[in-house]
Amino acid sequence: MSEASDQPPQPTNQDSPPWSRSTKVIVTVSILLLVLWLTYRFQSLISQLVVAAILAYIMNPIAVMIDRRTRLKRTTGILILYLLLALAVVGGFIALGFAAFEQVSSLIEQVPQLITDTTAVIEEFTTRTDPLFEMGPLSFTPASIDLQIIQDQLMGMVEPAVSQGGQLVTDFATATLTTMGNLLFIFIISIYLAIEIPLLGEHVAGLAQMPGYRKDAERLLREFGRIWSAYLRGQVILGLIIFVVVWLGLAILGVQNSLALGLLSGLLEFVPILGPVIGAGAAILVAFFQPDTLAQMANWQFAGIVLIYMLIVQQLENNILVPRIVGESLDLHPLIVMIGVFMGSSLAGILGAILAAPIVATLKLLGIYAWRKMFDQNPFPEPEKELSESPSAKLIKRGQELLPKRKPKPTSEEQAEQN
């Protein structure tokens, strides 16, 4: 019976005979192994391709708006859009790049001293010999804490970053040229991807030609787009807002390196849950050991004011900005997101941590679909949400409504009447 099942079916009217089941399995396994080997072999290139794809996806709504509101073709509009983006990046680098680089370098150089100062403060606390609490024969005194081990561990973690910061200062020109080359490559690939985005959905949906599965593929594509659109575009908007708010707020309070701290907080917005906490902690730590404080107040009072300000920023972000910009597109428990961030960072570094949340949400989408299909259940029990319900999509749509609409092209009869 098995020998008969391995025999390929007899060709009907096709010129090429169909493959047998064993041939399909061999080809599928070979393709998967080849993809895994290529992924391992070209990790750095793949990360740049991923960034280019994300950039094209983020810029697509603007390209669609240009196509609808102007007489420009999509290719011409995309080229103009990316040219303006390149000019903005170069202009921003010239305007803020050197100041931000100087502050970031200064902040990196301060890290060992911050650790030493923090240890000194805690060491002063641990000189107390009176116990903090007693419970029968058990007691705890601050003097029992060995801070030297903790300090050595922290310095061992920080020293590689500090050495990289010093190398960045000395090799600034080389790093700049390398970065500009990578950005140029990403821009070129992203332009091609942005031009081909309208055809991508048709190509993917066309792979599912079996009866009934094309609708499933189209539904999965729409859900996939909803997840990644809301997350990526929402995080970009959030990052820009947090960067400006933290930068201006800390500058008004008189915190040193406010531009670098604002830039750090904006970039860390792409790391769910942990990113805002790290950004706030860095600002509080810098404020606590800053020699010159607001109104010459004590350092702990100044750090407390910065703590209150960062808490206000996070509360406004979580309760006002996130629901209106990102919404509940991921629908993931915070613990799952945190585990995904750790797993993503261990597999692909910073890029893995940034993309962990939407990847986990996508795996959840595909997993639920496969699970329901295995048990002969409806894979989509809930009605599909319209894309316009996404907060980031609404924000983009409102921006598009502010621009003038493109006038329809006159017909041949109207042109004849005008002549």
Mean pLDDT across 97-122: 69
DSSP per-residue letters across 247-278: HHHHHHHT-TTHHHHHHHHHHHTTSTTHHHHH
pLDDT at 83 over 50: yes
User: 292 near 258, Cβ under 8 Å?
Assistant: no
Q: Is residue 80 very low, low, confident or very high in pLDDT (cuts 50, 70, 90)? A: very high
Helices (H) and strands (E) in the chain, counts: 15, 2
How far apart CA 256 and CA 279 sit, in angstroms, is 14
Could you tell me if 78 and 191 are in contact, meaning their C-beta atoms sit under 8 angstroms apart? yes
Q: Which of 268, 267, 293, 287 is nearest to 110 (CA)?
A: 287
CA separation for the pair 95, 105 (Å, rounded): 17
The CA distance from 387 to 397, in Å, is 11
Which tokens go with 9? 């079916």
Per-residue confidence at 1, pLDDT binned at 50, 70, 90? very low
Our CA dihedral for 152, 154, 157, 162, rounded to 10 degrees, sits at -100
User: Over the stretch 339-348, which tens digit does the pLDDT of each residue have?
Assistant: 888 888 887 7
Asked if residues 125 and 132 have their Cβ atoms less than 8 Å apart, the reply is no
Helix segments in 20-137, DSSP class H: 21-41, 43-69, 74-92, 98-126
CB 326 within 8 A of CB 392: yes
Is the pLDDT reported for residue 411 higher than 80? no
Chain segment 239-277, per-residue pLDDT in tens: 999 999 999 999 999 988 888 899 889 988 888 888 899
What pLDDT, in 10s, does the model give residues 37-70? 888 888 778 888 888 888 888 888 888 888 888 8
Q: Which residue has the higher pLDDT, 349 or 391?
A: 349
The closest alpha carbon to 356, from 266, 289, 274, 240, belongs to 274
Kind and range of the H or E run holding 157: helix 147-170
Measured distance CA(7)–CA(376) in Å, rounded: 29
Alpha carbon distance 141, 123 (integer Å): 12
**What pLDDT was estimated at residue 251?**
92
**Cα distance between residue 85 and residue 409, in whole Å:** 29
DSSP calls for 129-153: -S-SEEETTEEE-GGG--HHHHHHH
Count other Cβ atoms within 10 Å, centred on residue 55. 21
Task: Supply the Cα-derived Rg of the chain in whole angstroms.
Answer: 28
Residue pLDDT, tens place only, 126-184:
665 565 555 555 655 655 566 566 656 666 655 555 555 555 455 555 666 777 788 88
Residue among 52, 350, 76 at smallest CA distance from 185: 52
- Say which residues have a Cβ less than 8 Å from residue 350's Cβ, sequence separation at least 6: none
To the nearest 5 percent, what fractions of the chain are helix, strand and coil?
Answer: 80, 0, 20
- CA–CA distance, 283 with 133 (Å, rounded to integer): 32
For residue 307, is pLDDT > 90? yes
Whole-angstrom Cα distance, residue 35 to residue 29? Answer: 10
- C-alpha 101/C-alpha 114 separation (Å) is 19
Q: What is the DSSP letter of 319?
A: I
386 DSSP β-pair partners: none
Q: Name the residue among 178, 194, 177, 182 with its Cα closest to residue 82.
A: 194
- Domain boundaries defined on the chain: 43-131+141-216, 223-379
pLDDT value at position 130?
Answer: 62
